[in-house]
A and B are shown apart, each in its own frame.
Chain A
Amino acid sequence: MATATLDTTTTLLRIATAGSVDDGKSTLVGRLLFDSKSVLSDQLDAVERVSRDRGHEGTDLALLTDGLRAEREQGITIDVAYRYFATANRSFVLADCPGHVQYTRNTVTGASTADVVVLLVDARKGLLEQTRRHLAVAALLRVPHVVVAVNKVDLVDWSQDRFDSIAADLRTAATTLGVAHVHAVPVSALLGDNVVDRSDNTPWYGGPSLLELLEQLPSSDTSDDAAPFRLAVQHVVRPQSGEDRFRDYRGYAGQVAAGVVRPGDEVVVLPGGRRTTVAGIDTADSLAAGLDTLPEAFAPQSVTIRLADDIDVARGDLLAAAADAPVPTQDVVATLAWLGDRPLHPRTTVLLKHGTRTVKAQVREIAGRLDLDTLDAAELLAAESLTLNDLGRVTLRLAAPVPVEPYARARRTGAFLLIDPDDGATLAAGMVDGA
């Protein structure tokens, strides 16, 4: 029985939803949960009761996801809600993001960890500015896959022409923006067509339902063994007491950000630049089992690394494969998704958090805003400042060198936060430029 229920083959896929207001996102998510039998009877009872009280004809599945008072009162989604559902071989974390322009920062929040963005488009309206903005956010954040759910196809008489023309617009936009993989599915969230089960109403569509597609896409909890090893040191483990065999133990705890590491591998400690080799890799389980070391660790495992030489390593340092390591720099050109309520002006001093290191940074120059139609860095729109939800290119000068690398090459070590030194607010999501 234990083996049947432990189900260690299950993998985790992280999804974010996006789309304009009233495209039916909440309904689609509700339908996905409902048809995949992830809604339990007491939740459904509650939703049916509220639907009835409000005089809705059927059950309003959107009520399954709008959790806050203000959301239910206004019928809109304000903040990201996280939903969980599972099929036989996969578990899903779904970040249900709001569509309002003023909440684009929440879409950035949801998309930063997503393996897949599910973007809703109303079949009657086609691509809107907000669709483009969300597609651009997905492209900038390098979400590996975008699935476009062309919703409300029931309201365009299940028209294949309409679907094909929207899908063609999307492909053009996706190619321009550099989205790697885009998939389009015609759905009716309200009626349930092609959400979990394939629909008889769209005989011209031969592809998978939305859920079937989500079951097949690769998860980022899958490591790319060819990527060079990276681990930001979170914490130095030094017991100094307890069992004798651990009295002199000194290990560097962190989560593997990329690649694979094995004992004997040569690593460099950045930004300092000292080289050494990996003496051992531990977890609580390997220590309890009396193992000298684990044979290897890969992303995104949380482990503790011991080094062969007694060199100074502290929180904030990055351990990197010596053969392929980033070069620490104090000058960074990056794209920012500006999330702060106050605008960003040049010469502003902020904090930059990269991995486990936080340094002071000054915005030297705002090169301009990105054109959401192209995201082309060569054709920036002039901007003196960046305001909420702007995507812009900036040059930063850091108070100390940091081993950044291009986001396009490394999603973890190419990303950073900008933080307000006064009140601690998160001001921007930053992605290092270059390829």
Chain B
Amino acid sequence: MFPATRATATTSLSLLDALESEAIHVIREVVAELERPVLLFSGGKDSIVMLHLAVKAFAPAPVPFPLLHVDTGHNFPEVLAFRDRTADRLRLRLEVAKVQDYIDDGRLRERADGTRNPLQTRPLLDAIEAGKYTAVFGGGRRDEEKARAKERIFSLRDEFGQWDPRNQRPELWNLYNGRHRPGEHVRVFPLSNWTELDVWRYIARENIELPSLYYTHERDVFDRDGMLLAVGPYAQPRTAAERASVRSEKVRYRTVGDMSCTGAVESIALTVDDVVAEIAATRITERGATRADDRMSEAAMEDRKKEGYF
């Protein structure tokens, strides 16, 4: 049933080594073939891992592209501090596109539900256009969400930043096609084949520093739509039930997006090994546990991606 064992030796790459090797290959292809790449860096774990891989891809030379962050204005202060520190340490230029600027001058309007995640698309597309970026690295993983599961590693976007899931380029072997017409750009997802658990195992193996809120800490939280939101300037309990649920809890974050729609999870994970064990045992997906914006409709992510969101 199986082929006869060859007389020659074979050597296998472990899962993490295979994923690392594939991501480095992708990052190098982009730098070689696309004129102006930029890496979306939020200070979250996926973008931190992506930057770590970029450092590895070009060592001992520096990372040959800048960083871009779309700041919703509702981000966690410790994550922003981490973001700035990391850019300084690696001497990389960090460009920040601020949703707040757009709201202040009327180009965007605050939504009734207070979430700013969908508002990021316009500043992102403007920043891509202003920077004339032809390739934009994103930390998106296919295991995150059903629309993301359909993404190619190289994903062509039209001049409006739109994704057309029905008309994607075939992606064959490890031959990536980054050709595009003027005005179009390519979104690139080097972590496509990683799962949340792979990311955490890699963080553990590589000893990668993360913002502290990925580990358990005490925080005032309240219940909303089955999620634990942090009490703070961007999320206040609105109803009597929400007010009654306010309490101090041992929590950590699985994702660190916009504070107004990112939920915390109860946790006792103090170290990276604790987190790996916790993720290995969890019964709730990362986005299911923590993202209110994906719950708006069955195709919320798909609809936002078509508009130009990641």
B122 to chain A, nearest CB (A): 23
Q: Is residue B107 within 8 Å, beta carbon to beta carbon, of the partner chain?
A: no
User: B140-157, CB under 8 A of A: which get 1 and which 0?
Assistant: 001101110110000010
Q: Is A82 in contact with B149, judged by CB distance below 8 angstroms?
A: yes
With A84-B195, A416-B175 as contacts: A222 and B168 at CB distance below 8 Å: no
Count of CB-CB pairs between chains A and B under 8 Å: 232
Q: At the interface with chain A, which of B55-63, B66-74, B92-100, B214-222?
A: B55-63
Q: Is B22 in contact with A300, judged by CB distance below 8 angstroms?
A: yes
List of A residues within 8 angstroms of B57 by Cβ: 253, 284, 302
Q: Is residue A353 within 8 Å, beta carbon to beta carbon, of the partner chain?
A: yes
Q: Residue of B at shortest CB range from A213?
A: B1
Could you tell me which residues of chain B, from 199 to 219, have a CB within 8 Å of some CB in chain A?
201, 204-205
Q: Is B288 in contact with A82, judged by CB distance below 8 angstroms?
A: no
A244 to chain B, nearest CB (A): 11
Q: Is A68 in contact with B302, judged by CB distance below 8 angstroms?
A: yes
Q: Is A353 in contact with B273, judged by CB distance below 8 angstroms?
A: no
Q: Is residue B232 within 8 Å, beta carbon to beta carbon, of the partner chain?
A: no
A272→B2 CA distance, assembly (Å): 41
Q: Is A12 in contact with B18, judged by CB distance below 8 angstroms?
A: yes
Q: Is B12 in contact with A221, judged by CB distance below 8 angstroms?
A: yes
Q: Residue of B at shortest CB range from A113?
A: B173
Q: Is residue A108 within 8 Å, beta carbon to beta carbon, of the partner chain?
A: yes
Q: Is B172 in contact with A415, judged by CB distance below 8 angstroms?
A: yes
Q: Is A426 in contact with B172, judged by CB distance below 8 angstroms?
A: yes
Q: Of the candidates B3, B142, B173, B298, which one forms a contact with A412 in the assembled complex, judged by CB atoms under 8 Å apart?
A: B173
What class of interface size applies to chain B in its complex with A? 35 or more
User: A253-285, CB under 8 A of B: which get 1 and which 0?
Assistant: 111000010000000000000000000001111
Q: Is B192 in contact with A82, judged by CB distance below 8 angstroms?
A: yes
Q: At the interface with chain B, which of A17-25, A230-238, A392-400?
A: A230-238
Could you tell me which residues of chain B, from 162 to 207, have a CB within 8 Å of some CB in chain A?
165-166, 168-175, 177, 179-181, 192-193, 195, 197-198, 201, 204-205
Q: At the interface with chain A, which of B111-119, B123-131, B274-282?
A: B274-282
Q: Is A50 in contact with B10, judged by CB distance below 8 angstroms?
A: no
Q: Is A302 in contact with B2, judged by CB distance below 8 angstroms?
A: no
Q: Is residue B244 within 8 Å, beta carbon to beta carbon, of the partner chain?
A: no
Q: Of the candidates A113, A234, A260, which one forms a contact with B29 in the assembled complex, judged by CB atoms under 8 Å apart?
A: A234
Q: Of the candidates A79, A183, A298, which one forms a contact with B168 in the assembled complex, judged by CB atoms under 8 Å apart?
A: A79
Q: At the interface with chain B, which of A2-10, A161-169, A317-325, A370-378?
A: A2-10
With A2-B204, A246-B60 as contacts: A426 and B170 at CB distance below 8 Å: yes
Q: Residue of A at shortest CB range from B275?
A: A5
Q: Is A109 in contact with B170, judged by CB distance below 8 angstroms?
A: yes
Q: Is residue B299 within 8 Å, beta carbon to beta carbon, of the partner chain?
A: yes
Could you tell me which residues of chain A, from 80 to 123, have a CB within 8 Å of some CB in chain B?
80-84, 86, 91, 93, 105-106, 108-109, 112-113
Q: Of the candidates A82, A91, A223, A235, which one forms a contact with B31 in the assembled complex, judged by CB atoms under 8 Å apart?
A: A235
Q: At the interface with chain B, which of A35-43, A128-136, A190-198?
A: A35-43
Q: Is residue A423 within 8 Å, beta carbon to beta carbon, of the partner chain?
A: yes
List of B residues within 8 angstroms of A254 by Cβ: 28
Q: Is residue B36 within 8 Å, beta carbon to beta carbon, of the partner chain?
A: no
List of B residues within 8 angstroms of A284 by Cβ: 55-57, 59-60
User: B215-250, CB under 8 A of A: which get 1 and which 0?
Assistant: 000000000000000000000000000000000000
With A41-B284, A417-B175 as contacts: A223 and B11 at CB distance below 8 Å: yes
Q: Is A298 in contact with B11, judged by CB distance below 8 angstroms?
A: yes
A255→B176 CA distance, assembly (Å): 14
Could you tell me which residues of chain B, from 1 to 50, have a CB within 8 Å of some CB in chain A?
1-3, 6, 8-22, 24-25, 28-29, 31-32
User: A45-72, CB under 8 A of B: which get 1 and which 0?
Assistant: 0100010000000000000011111101
A2→B271 CA distance, assembly (Å): 10
List of B residues within 8 angstroms of A426 by Cβ: 169-172, 177
Q: Is residue A225 within 8 Å, beta carbon to beta carbon, of the partner chain?
A: yes
Could you tell me which residues of chain A, from 158 to 193, have a CB within 8 Å of some CB in chain B?
180-181, 183
Q: Is B25 in contact with A234, judged by CB distance below 8 angstroms?
A: yes
What total of chain A residues lie within 8 Å of the partner, measured CB to CB?
Answer: 92
A65→B205 CA distance, assembly (Å): 31
Q: Is residue A419 within 8 Å, beta carbon to beta carbon, of the partner chain?
A: yes
Q: Is residue A402 within 8 Å, beta carbon to beta carbon, of the partner chain?
A: no
Q: Is A237 in contact with B61, judged by CB distance below 8 angstroms?
A: yes
B115 to chain A, nearest CB (A): 19
Q: Is B170 in contact with A287, judged by CB distance below 8 angstroms?
A: no
B275 to chain A, nearest CB (A): 10
Q: Is A235 in contact with B60, judged by CB distance below 8 angstroms?
A: no
B126 to chain A, nearest CB (A): 24
List of B residues within 8 angstroms of A10 by Cβ: 14-16
List of B residues within 8 angstroms of A93 by Cβ: 193
List of A residues within 8 angstroms of B302 by Cβ: 67-69
Q: Is residue B283 within 8 Å, beta carbon to beta carbon, of the partner chain?
A: yes
Q: Is residue B289 within 8 Å, beta carbon to beta carbon, of the partner chain?
A: yes
Q: Residue of B at shortest CB range from A421?
A: B179
Q: Is B62 in contact with A5, judged by CB distance below 8 angstroms?
A: no
List of A residues within 8 angstroms of B6 by Cβ: 224, 226
List of A residues within 8 angstroms of B169 by Cβ: 425-426
A274→B198 CA distance, assembly (Å): 41
Q: Is A181 in contact with B193, judged by CB distance below 8 angstroms?
A: no
User: A406-431, CB under 8 A of B: which get 1 and which 0?
Assistant: 00000110011101000111100100
Q: Is A40 in contact with B284, judged by CB distance below 8 angstroms?
A: yes
Could you tell me which residues of chain A, from 134 to 157, have a CB within 8 Å of some CB in chain B?
none
Q: Of the candidates A1, A12, A79, which one forms a contact with B277 in the assembled complex, judged by CB atoms under 8 Å apart?
A: A1
List of A residues within 8 angstroms of B59 by Cβ: 237, 282-284, 287-288
Q: Is A1 in contact with B14, judged by CB distance below 8 angstroms?
A: no
A416→B301 CA distance, assembly (Å): 33
Q: Is residue A293 within 8 Å, beta carbon to beta carbon, of the partner chain?
A: no
Q: Is A40 in contact with B277, judged by CB distance below 8 angstroms?
A: no
Q: Is B285 in contact with A42, judged by CB distance below 8 angstroms?
A: yes
List of A residues within 8 angstroms of B299 by Cβ: 68-69
Given contacts A66-B146, A69-B302, 4 further A-B contacts (CB under 8 A): A216-B2, A235-B28, A300-B25, A302-B25
In the assembled complex, 21 residue pairs joining A and B whose CB atoms fall closer than 8 Å, in A order, are A6-B276, A11-B13, A11-B14, A40-B282, A43-B288, A69-B299, A70-B166, A79-B168, A81-B150, A82-B193, A91-B195, A181-B1, A181-B2, A219-B12, A235-B32, A255-B25, A260-B11, A298-B11, A301-B21, A302-B22, A411-B173
Residues on A facing B (Cβ under 8 Å): 1-2, 5-12, 40-43, 46, 50, 65-70, 72, 78-84, 86, 91, 93, 105-106, 108-109, 112-113, 180-181, 183, 216-219, 221-226, 234-235, 237-240, 242-243, 246, 249, 253-255, 260, 282-285, 287-288, 298, 300-302, 315, 339, 353, 355-356, 411-412, 415-417, 419, 423-426, 429
